[in-house]
Copies of this chain bind each other. A is one copy, B any other.
């Protein structure tokens, strides 16, 4: 973070000094070093120190801050940390000080027996009930993202009653962004802009002030759709209703930012051929495990290509020049396929579904044709000028055109099909497309060469 207030940059010197204080068991110095930091900064420090050092620091924080830090920790750090703590401490020190959505996330990650133990140790029965409710929802739905804490007022109240009630409800809530208006059956009826609370007569009725055209999602809405709604309508908080429209929770934008980030990272991993969510700081073993599946598929594809090439051993032996352009043809098929599939995947993710499949393929065919003619023309010129034989020159140029067109259409149709069968279309940007295109491209190239050599001698 550059400039502005509360600048904190985690330096090596900072960590070393802190570690020294911990080693000396100098609580006062250690505490003064961290007590003014934001929980997100403290969580970053935890990434850099051992579990015992982390435990020492934890005891120096007040309960509320300790809970906030726990929420900010990366999932595996948190699991490691909670594993060594008794259920009672988890319940009393942490869960009691968390919002219901964070509490449900933390508890949801615990082993099943421990979940129950922790729930039994929560003093606030209402909080425990909220968490149990939230644990029932699928993590990937609005129910799994929402928190139960919100400010709700009845549409029959006046501003004055409303302010009094809000003061009561606001105690549990960090930030107030919206006030939700419900009727006697808890059915969501609208929102009350804070501005109207400030600018109207205290005797005015909520009914007359509330904004009725409110956007909400159902508890079972998928999280990608939740993110799309909040992004499209620029919302900071989104109310969640049950099947009959009763207000049951609200989702805030910070949770949705995480969803957007995760979805983008998932697509990025897929296209870069990494099968698990890894970072460069993960262990050698984890990094290898995340990378080997695609490489193994690539290996299989390469072996398949070698078998195909084996069928054409005679041609390769006679016209050694054929071999020279194999990597070119293979690479071109792979590259074109990845381009096509990634454009389709992004258009599916962006929700632009107005174009029909036939239209998409027709357009892709035209783009491919244009690319193919330009690149085929260049390679034709190159091969001709460097004095390759006519059959070889023609083989390369025609194969180039054929491979580009095939790879484009294949790269377009596969993600569309995957999406139709409810499989993540991003799968098609990874190993599958590149490898298939490598193999098919090689077969096209060598078949064209075989027939041209026969015809043109």
- Chain A residues packing against B (C-beta within 8 Å): 1-6, 10, 12, 36, 38, 40, 48, 163, 166-167, 170-171, 173, 175-177, 188, 193-195, 198-199, 213-218, 220-222, 225, 228-236, 240-241, 245, 252-254, 256-257, 260-261, 264-265, 267-269, 271-274, 278-281, 284-285, 287-288, 291-292, 294-296, 298-299, 301-303, 305-307, 309-310, 313, 316-317, 320-332, 334-336, 338-339, 342-344, 346-347, 350, 352, 354-355, 360, 363, 366-367, 370-371, 374-375, 378-379, 382, 404, 429, 434-435, 438, 442
Is A367 in contact with B279, judged by CB distance below 8 angstroms? no
Contact of A298 among B12, B230, B331 (CB under 8 A): B331
A6 to chain B: closest residue by CB? B215
In angstroms, Cα B363 to Cα A279, docked, is 12
Is B299 in contact with A375, judged by CB distance below 8 angstroms? yes
Least CB distance from A10 to B in Å reads 7
Is A326 in contact with B328, judged by CB distance below 8 angstroms? no
Contact of A326 among B253, B273, B323, B404 (CB under 8 A): B323
What chain B residues lie within 8 Å of A329 (beta carbons)? 302
Is B338 in contact with A272, judged by CB distance below 8 angstroms? yes
In angstroms, Cα B352 to Cα A333, docked, is 35
Least CB distance from A114 to B in Å reads 27
Least CB distance from A49 to B in Å reads 12
Main secondary structure of the interface of A (DSSP, over half): helix
What chain B residues lie within 8 Å of A217 (beta carbons)? 1-4
| CB within 8 Å for A268 and B271 given contacts A310-B324, A371-B288 | yes
What chain B residues lie within 8 Å of A36 (beta carbons)? 213
Least CB distance from A398 to B in Å reads 15
Least CB distance from A288 to B in Å reads 5
Is B295 in contact with A335, judged by CB distance below 8 angstroms? yes
Is A12 in contact with B354, judged by CB distance below 8 angstroms? yes
Counted per complex, copies of this chain come to 2
In angstroms, Cα B222 to Cα A429, docked, is 31
What chain B residues lie within 8 Å of A252 (beta carbons)? 236
In angstroms, Cα B9 to Cα A90, docked, is 45
A343 to chain B: closest residue by CB? B280
In angstroms, Cα B179 to Cα A176, docked, is 12
Is B268 in contact with A346, judged by CB distance below 8 angstroms? yes
What chain B residues lie within 8 Å of A274 (beta carbons)? 339, 342-343
Is A216 in contact with B291, judged by CB distance below 8 angstroms? no
Is B268 in contact with A342, judged by CB distance below 8 angstroms? yes
Is A370 in contact with B288, judged by CB distance below 8 angstroms? yes
In angstroms, Cα B241 to Cα A336, docked, is 47
Q: A167, A222, A233, A434: which has the most chain B beta carbons within 10 Å?
A: A233
| CB within 8 Å for A287 and B343 given contacts A280-B355, A281-B355, A302-B327 | yes
What chain B residues lie within 8 Å of A256 (beta carbons)? 257
Is A302 in contact with B331, judged by CB distance below 8 angstroms? yes
What chain B residues lie within 8 Å of A291 (beta carbons)? 336, 339, 367, 371
What chain B residues lie within 8 Å of A434 (beta carbons)? 331, 335
Least CB distance from A298 to B in Å reads 5
